Amino acid sequence: MNSRKVVFLFWSTLLVGSITGGIVGSILNSDRLLGGGFANFFWGAVWAIGISAAFSLISQMGFFAYLTLHRFGLGIFKSVRLWNRIQMVVIAFVVFDLFYLRYAAFAEAGESIWSYMVTPVLLLIYGLVIAAIKAKDTNRQAFIQALFFIVVVTTIEWVPALTANDPKWLWIYFTPLLAANTWQLLILHRLTGSGKQEAKK
């Protein structure tokens, strides 16, 4: 992985996170953006893209932090299988906490816990799909690692918005994080030449 590829990863991730977050942010704030003329819409869209760019930078820090953690995990446990099992336990713990702790902290009287389970379940399903793609392109051992990154690392990065519990900010924050994390995960093996197709070549 040379410096040119690192620069490409940085800027492409920033672009993916900024565009996806900017689109979602503009849609969620469309009532404000469309009610004040073109200048209001323009600067509102610029704000949405800018804040999404900041969140994509958080995503990149999380990505490299996980790569470091993964190396430490392999070094400590000396076994990919054992390290993957530990990650599976952490995934289950995070998915449970993602709905239970939010329910315990923010649920109003009479509110069902089921509504708090929708987002964690959808995130888990999405993580399973992305992990399957990653494993197909690289190797089976990468499945748990990819699932851990999408579910656990994204959730950790999402914590500031989760604690605020503002529905609009939850998605403005979450969209660029998830898009940037997905992009980094699926492009890394292509840049490093560690995918199955690259190995055949």
pLDDT of residue 183: 96
CA dist 95 and 79 (Å) reads: 25
pLDDT of residue 78: 84
User: What is the percent of the chain with per-residue pLDDT over 70, rounded to a whole number?
Assistant: 94
Cα 184 → chain centroid:
9
pLDDT at 170 over 70: yes
Answer left, alpha or beta for residue 193, where phi above 0 means left and psi between -120 and 50 means alpha. left
Q: What is the pLDDT of residues 45-54, one digit of tens each?
A: 888 899 999 9
Average the pLDDT over each of 20-29, 170-179, 190-199 and give the range with the smallest value: 190-199
Establish how many alpha carbons lie within 13 A of residue 55's alpha carbon, considering only the half-sphere containing its beta carbon.
Answer: 35
In Å, the largest CA–CA distance within the chain is 61
Over range 55-82, report the average pLDDT.
92
pLDDT of residue 195: 64
Give helix 37-77 / helix 3-28 axis angle, nearest 10°: 130
Residues 6+ apart with CB under 8 A from 187: 9, 12
Instruction: Go through 96-106 and write b for each residue having 16 or more CB atoms within 10 A of its CB, e for each that does not.
Output: eebbeebbeee
Average the pLDDT over each of 19-33, 35-49, 67-81, 154-168 and give the range with the smallest value: 35-49
pLDDT of residue 200: 52
Mean pLDDT of the chain, nearest integer: 89
**Per-residue confidence band for 36, with pLDDT thresholds at 50, 70 and 90:** low
Domain ranges within the chain, ordered by starting residue: 3-200
**Spatial contact of 183 and 10, defined as CB atoms under 8 Å apart:** no
pLDDT at 201 over 70: no
Give the predicted TM-score (pTM) of the model.
0.90
Task: State which amino acid sits at residue 60.
Answer: Q
Q: What is the pLDDT of residues 90-129, one digit of tens each?
A: 999 999 999 898 888 888 887 888 888 999 999 999 999 9
